């Protein structure tokens, strides 16, 4: 397994969309040239559901001109570079075989371009999807793949289906991935959110919103506690910051390798962190 040759898909989209007779056709073009090939790596998920999900999570929109991103990807030889980094991480962490899928990201998405530095990713146990833009460089690719492939490794060790994941599992999955980024890529690679919360603020959020909910199962319930929720009064990115501090504080007390960390039970990590159940 490894990096998928998505350059053919992207080139096919660019060529087909340039011939589309009207704008609506680009939706069908994207479905045929991008979504159908991607769907081979997903099972029992309807094409339209997959299409909508990828668009929501950062993939380029059907009416977006992605020629500049495609040329940028080719110039930086992103596919070869990502394969190199993937093999390094796989060996270091004794991680699973996964497919790595590179696609253009949505440059009209302000969160991706401003908060996330022009990159976005999704990590599954058997695949990783990376959304890149004209802002993405090699350092960004290493950072992004380190984070997302760490998810794949953690999910392999947890051996749980998404409905079985607890909120504690989800917090630690994100915190562990960002801690790996800190170790491998340095502090400058961390998300902007990592220093937006004082330890006192995180403790207050833990006491008010998280402590009583950490065993809630089902990843779809976890979103507001990971990304934040204005309606609930949970600040943006607070779950990521909390998960990172949970892992960081545990590793401060009990230093070990990322490989060993990946296999630790979530409850053990919580027990040895600054947050108490």
Asked whether residue 151 falls in the same domain as residue 205, the answer is no
End-to-end CA distance of the chain: 40
Residue 276 lies in a domain: no
Asked whether residue 260 falls in the same domain as residue 140, the answer is no
Question: What is the rounded distance in angstroms from the CA atom of residue 209 to the CA atom of residue 47?
Answer: 36
Question: What is the rounded distance in angstroms from the CA atom of residue 31 to the CA atom of residue 25?
Answer: 10
Residue 138 lies in a domain: yes
Q: How many residues does the chain have?
A: 277
pLDDT at 176: 97
For residue 20, pLDDT beyond 80: no
Instruction: Output 194 or 234, whichever has higher pLDDT.
Output: 234
Residue 95 lies in a domain: yes
Asked whether residue 83 falls in the same domain as residue 35, the answer is yes
pLDDT at 205: 95
Asked whether residue 82 falls in the same domain as residue 181, the answer is no
Asked whether residue 218 falls in the same domain as residue 166, the answer is yes
DSSP structure string for 240-268: HHHHHHHHHHHHHHS---HHHHHTS-HHH
Asked whether residue 173 falls in the same domain as residue 150, the answer is no
246: containing domain: 162-271
Residue 80 lies in a domain: yes
For residue 16, pLDDT beyond 70: yes
Question: What is the rounded distance in angstroms from the CA atom of residue 182 to the CA atom of residue 186?
Answer: 5
- Phi then psi dihedrals of residue 166, to 5 deg: -90, 165
The count of structural domains within the chain is 2
pLDDT at 18: 85
Residue 277 lies in a domain: no
Residue written as tokens 């559901």? 49
Q: At what angle do helices 78-93 and 67-75 cross, to 10 degrees?
A: 60
Collapsed DSSP state (helix, strand, coil) of residue 87: helix
Asked whether residue 199 falls in the same domain as residue 254, the answer is yes
Domain C-terminal end among 117, 134, 158: 158
Asked whether residue 200 falls in the same domain as residue 251, the answer is yes
Domain C-terminal end among 142, 158, 174: 158
Residue 213 lies in a domain: yes
Question: What is the rounded distance in angstroms from the CA atom of residue 52 to the CA atom of residue 158?
Answer: 28
Torsion sign (Cα): 217, 223, 229, 233 = positive
Interval 153-193: pLDDT, tens: 999 999 898 889 999 999 999 999 999 999 999 999 998 77
Residue 103 lies in a domain: yes
DSSP conformation class of 194: G
Asked whether residue 114 falls in the same domain as residue 201, the answer is no
pLDDT at 274: 94
Q: Is 35 exposed, middle or buried (0-12, 13-18, 19+ CB in 10 A)?
A: buried
How open is the CA angle 179-222-237, to the nearest 5 degrees? 50
Residue 28 lies in a domain: yes
Question: What is the rounded distance in angstroms from the CA atom of residue 186 to the CA atom of residue 135?
Answer: 19
Domain C-terminal end among 158, 193, 223: 158
For residue 24, pLDDT beyond 60: no
- pLDDT tier, 115 (very low <50, low <70, confident <90, very high otherwise): confident
Poorest-pLDDT segment among 115-124, 137-146, 175-184: 115-124
Taking Cα atoms as reference points, which of 80, 93, 113 lies closest to residue 2?
80
For residue 223, pLDDT beyond 70: yes
pLDDT at 113: 85
Asked whether residue 152 falls in the same domain as residue 263, the answer is no
Structure tokens at 128: 């990783």
Asked whether residue 263 falls in the same domain as residue 136, the answer is no
Asked whether residue 61 falls in the same domain as residue 143, the answer is yes
pLDDT at 191: 81
């Amino acid at each position: 397994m490894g990096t998928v040759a998505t350059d053919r898909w992207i080139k096919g989209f660019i060529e087909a969309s340039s011939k589309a007779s009207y704008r609506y056709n680009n939706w069908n073009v994207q479905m045929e040239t991008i979504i159908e090939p991607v769907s081979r790596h997903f099972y029992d998920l309807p094409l339209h559901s997959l299409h909508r999900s990828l668009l929501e999570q950062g993939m380029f929109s059907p009416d977006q001109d992605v020629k500049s991103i495609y040329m940028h990807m080719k110039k930086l030889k992103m596919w070869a570079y990502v394969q190199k980094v993937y093999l390094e991480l796989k060996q270091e962490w004794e991680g699973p075989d996964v497919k790595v899928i590179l696609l253009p990201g949505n440059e009209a998405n302000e969160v991706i371009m401003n908060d996330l530095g022009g990159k976005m990713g999704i990590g599954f146990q058997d695949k990783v999807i990376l959304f890149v833009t004209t802002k993405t460089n090699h350092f960004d690719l290493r950072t992004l793949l380190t984070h997302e492939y760490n998810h794949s490794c953690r999910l392999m060790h947890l051996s749980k289906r998404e409905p079985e994941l607890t909120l504690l599992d989800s917090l630690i999955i994100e915190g562990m991935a960002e801690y790996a980024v800190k170790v491998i890529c340095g502090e400058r690679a961390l998300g902007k959110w990592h220093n937006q919360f004082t330890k006192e603020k995180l403790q207050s959020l833990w006491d008010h919103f998280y402590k009583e909910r950490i065993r809630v199962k089902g990843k779809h319930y976890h979103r507001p506690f990971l990304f934040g929720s204005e309606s609930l009064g949970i600040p943006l990115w607070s779950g990521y910051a909390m998960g990172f501090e949970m892992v960081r504080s545990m590793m401060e007390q009990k230093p070990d390798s990322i490989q060993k960390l990946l296999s630790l039970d979530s409850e053990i990590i919580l027990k040895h962190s600054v947050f108490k159940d």
